[in-house]
């Protein structure tokens, strides 16, 4: 079978019967790739009572959904999910398999790739086809973008973080096929997920925030970080961070933006005490207004933002907060 007929697959993810946004975003990108290949988009969806979610994938752009619908699949099970995906891929031989870089995806993708004896590129921020119709899997590296290809082995596999691609508008007129799949028998079941405990993040969620204040190593210490956190709260903004702030223990990993963190698309981004390293800046997708506060006028961050403030953030941020609060009080009294 020629490459122009082999499908682009998305391993979709649901939690509590809710399709994850990254899965729909990947369906949209898979649609673009499949149209260029002259191929089709197929998805694998595993869970319980999720027939409606299979239809969602079709309205987003899938032509076929392999649906595993059973109580045993309600919660992600690594061995069982791997066996199902591997068996389907061996039978149908997709050209490309895409999966979200979620907790599930980061475990499942390498398990599947190893079983299929193919390559895998993690944390991609773009996926395009080259002149030979081979998938260029682009990741941030060496201050720019590095393209990784898998020219011989199939399928070509990549994980992508939520927010890299837009969510497609649903098209209720689309038709597609849902294929029910059976559970494989005889699995050893050495690893089983018994329960998933979720903690709701404090403050405004990064992924949906219209304003983000992100802090870096320039905070200096916990006290400096608390000032940045207060700035975010004063602006009713989400609090983001760079890797050094996480490594120092000032904030949690959940706040990290960038290559190994979250992708964000705010209206306004304010970077405080950070240098503008590519690993962080690559996580800011399409911000309308970008502002930086840094005491080094030669900092690379100033080349990447719309407005810059050259000042020590430890001195500037408290005064900035004071001015914002004064302005807010005036608005209330007017």
Whose CA is closest to 129, among 276, 29, 272, 233? 29
Q: Please, what is the average pLDDT of the chain?
A: 88
DSSP line for 201-248: PSSS-GGG-SEEEEE-GGG-SHHHHHHHHHHHHHTT-EEEE-HHHHHT
Question: For the segment 154-187, what is each residue's pLDDT rounded down to a tens digit?
Answer: 999 999 988 788 889 998 888 889 999 888 776 6
Q: Cα–Cα distance between 15 and 95 in angstroms, integer?
A: 27
CATH fold of the domain at 206-333:
Rossmann fold (3.40.50)
Q: Cα–Cα distance between 97 and 141 in angstroms, integer?
A: 23
pLDDT at 46: 94
Percent of the chain with pLDDT over 70: 93
Q: Which residues contact 177 (CB under 8 A, 6 or more apart)?
A: 63, 64, 65
CATH fold of the domain at 3-180:
Rossmann fold (3.40.50)
pLDDT at 1: 35
Determine which helix (DSSP H) or strand (DSSP E) holds 104, and give its type and residue range. helix 103-116
Q: Which residues contact 276 (CB under 8 A, 6 or more apart)?
A: 292, 299, 300, 301, 302, 303, 304, 305
The Cβ of residue 148 has, within 10 Å, a number of other Cβ atoms equal to: 17
Question: For the segment 278-302, what is each residue's pLDDT rounded down to a tens digit?
Answer: 888 888 877 889 999 999 988 989 9
pLDDT at 30: 95
Lowest mean pLDDT, pick from 83-97, 175-189, 318-332:
175-189
Q: Which two tokens stand for residue 1?
A: 């079978």
pLDDT at 187: 65
Q: Cα–Cα distance between 309 and 98 in angstroms, integer?
A: 41
pLDDT at 3: 43
- The reported pTM is 0.76
Question: For the segment 242-277, what is each residue's pLDDT rounded down to a tens digit?
Answer: 999 999 999 988 899 987 788 888 999 999 999 888
Q: Which two tokens stand for residue 65?
A: 């959904």
Buried b (16+ CB within 10 A) or exposed e, 94-132: bbbbbbbbbebbeebbebbbeebebbbbbbbbbbeeeee
Per-residue pLDDT for 118 more than 90? yes
Q: Which residues make up the CATH 3.40.50.1220 domain(s) of the chain?
A: 206-333
pLDDT at 192: 75
Question: For the segment 196-243, what is each residue's pLDDT rounded down to a tens digit?
Answer: 777 666 667 787 889 999 999 999 999 999 999 999 999 999 999 999
Q: Which two tokens stand for residue 3?
A: 């490459």
- Sort residue 85 into left (φ over 0), alpha (ψ -120 to 50) or beta: alpha
Q: Which residues make up the CATH 3.40.50.620 domain(s) of the chain?
A: 3-180
Per-residue pLDDT for 45 more than 90? yes
Asked if 43 contacts 27 with a C-beta cutoff of 8 angstroms, the reply is yes
Instruction: Give the CA radius of gyration of the chain.
Output: 22
In this structure, what is the dihedral angle of CA atoms 87, 20, 254, 292, given to the nearest 10 degrees? 120
More confident residue, 331 or 85: 85
Question: For the segment 78-87, what is each residue's pLDDT rounded down to a tens digit?
Answer: 888 999 999 9
């Amino acid at each position: 079978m020629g490459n122009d007929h082999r499908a682009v697959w998305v391993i979709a993810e649901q939690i509590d019967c809710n399709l994850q946004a990254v899965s729909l975003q990947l369906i949209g990108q898979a649609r673009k790739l499949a149209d260029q290949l002259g191929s089709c988009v197929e998805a694998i969806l595993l869970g319980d009572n999720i027939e409606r979610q299979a239809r969602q994938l079709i309205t987003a752009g899938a032509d076929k959904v392999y649906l595993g619908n059973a109580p045993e699949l309600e919660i992600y099970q690594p061995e069982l999910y791997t066996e199902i995906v591997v068996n389907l891929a061996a039978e149908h031989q997709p050209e490309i398999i895409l999966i979200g870089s979620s907790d599930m995806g980061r475990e499942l993708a390498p398990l599947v790739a190893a079983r299929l004896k193919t390559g895998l590129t993690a944390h991609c921020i773009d996926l395009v086809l080259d002149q030979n119709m081979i998938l260029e899997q682009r990741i941030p590296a060496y201050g720019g973008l590095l393209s990784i290809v898998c020219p011989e082995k199939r399928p070509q596999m990549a994980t992508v973080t939520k927010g890299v691609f837009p969510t497609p508008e649903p098209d209720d007129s689309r038709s597609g096929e849902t294929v029910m799949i059976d559970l494989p028998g005889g699995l050893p079941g050495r690893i089983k997920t018994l329960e998933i405990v979720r903690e709701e993040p404090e403050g405004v969620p990064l992924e949906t925030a219209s304003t983000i204040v992100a802090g870096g190593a320039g905070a200096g210490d916990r006290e400096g970080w608390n000032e940045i956190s207060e700035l975010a709260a004063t602006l009713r903004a989400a609090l983001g961070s760079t890797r050094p702030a996480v490594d120092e223990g000032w904030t949690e990993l959940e706040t990290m933006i960038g290559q190994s963190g979250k992708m964000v698309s705010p209206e306004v981004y304010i970077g405080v005490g950070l240098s503008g390293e590519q690993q962080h800046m690559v996580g800011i997708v399409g911000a309308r207004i970008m502002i930086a506060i840094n005491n080094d006028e030669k900092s690379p961050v100033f080349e990447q933002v719309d407005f810059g403030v050259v000042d020590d953030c430890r001195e500037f941020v408290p005064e900035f907060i004071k001015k914002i609060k004064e302005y807010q009080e005036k608005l209330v009294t007017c």
